[in-house]
Structure 1
């Protein structure tokens, strides 16, 4: 995929189904050992009525299809998921550059400790592990908080 064929844009409520599908497919592919705390229907409701309603959601679109999504709530990067077949194509790098432009004073995020590819990605982008938990989250899965400061 070339950079010219990929567009990053603010999500609209019309993107809810596509954004949710990217999240579900990516989560299941990247985190097969992590129990999802919510059903597919609950996740769809959450994205449609909460996430997209509060703003800060961005999509990566290629050939008219949503292939990635990012949610940046102020300085918190709460979601960054790519369609499994689109990993390794620079989409995450473009989302990260956008996030750093939108939150130039710094970004915080959480990811699961077992998600080694995500951890490598964030570390490559200058994030530093700042805190670890033993699973103090809905999934009961140990996680790590990363911070980036310019």
Structure 2
């Protein structure tokens, strides 16, 4: 049986990170307009996101080959992304990512979630995040209303 380890992403992980992001976004946000094509997402993750050194992956162990099944990008106190492969949701990986983020940023965290993503809102609220602001979406590329969340210890 495989288990999952969390580790920093490295350049060879970029394609798998992009795959997780794309599958998760499509499954969780089917009504939200994507601002970028698959190729643009892949290039951005490969050329910008992973090289920054702020991306973590959840990787399976105990099976060959290992697979990236989740990703989180943490930039200081900002959780920029937390996506899980749809088939790996509900297994505690998101909980582990949030615990890691709190450990790495013990003074607090903040993030955005789309208003239509009720499961994400429930998830973050369960982890102690509180809503601090709602927008009409005019400030994001998708033009989708969103919610700002913050966590303070």
RMSD of aligned Cα (Å): 1.0
1:149 corresponds, among 126, 149, 152, to 152
Report what 2:31 is aligned to.
33
Report what 1:7 is aligned to.
5
Structure 1 segments, 4+ long, off by >4 Å, are none
1:50 corresponds, among 33, 48, 54, to 48
Report what 1:79 is aligned to.
81
Q: Report how far residue 102 of structure 1 moved.
A: 0.3
SS in 2 for 1:134: coil
Aligned length: 148
Q: Report how far residue 139 of structure 1 moved.
A: 0.4
**What is the TM-score normalised by the length of structure 1?**
0.97
Hey, what's the Cα distance between the residues in 1 that align with 2:91 and 2:52?
Answer: 29
Q: Which runs of 5+ in 2 are unaligned?
A: none
Report what 2:117 is aligned to.
115
Hey, what's the Cα distance between the residues in 2 that align with 1:107 and 1:77?
Answer: 7
- Cα deviation 1:61-85 (Å, max 9, x = unaligned): 0131000000000100000000000
SS in 1 for 2:18: helix
Report what 1:59 is aligned to.
57
Q: Which runs of 5+ in 1 are unaligned?
A: none
TM alignment of 1:132-143, pairs within 5 A: 132-136=134-138, 137-143=140-146
**What is the TM-score normalised by the length of structure 2?**
0.95
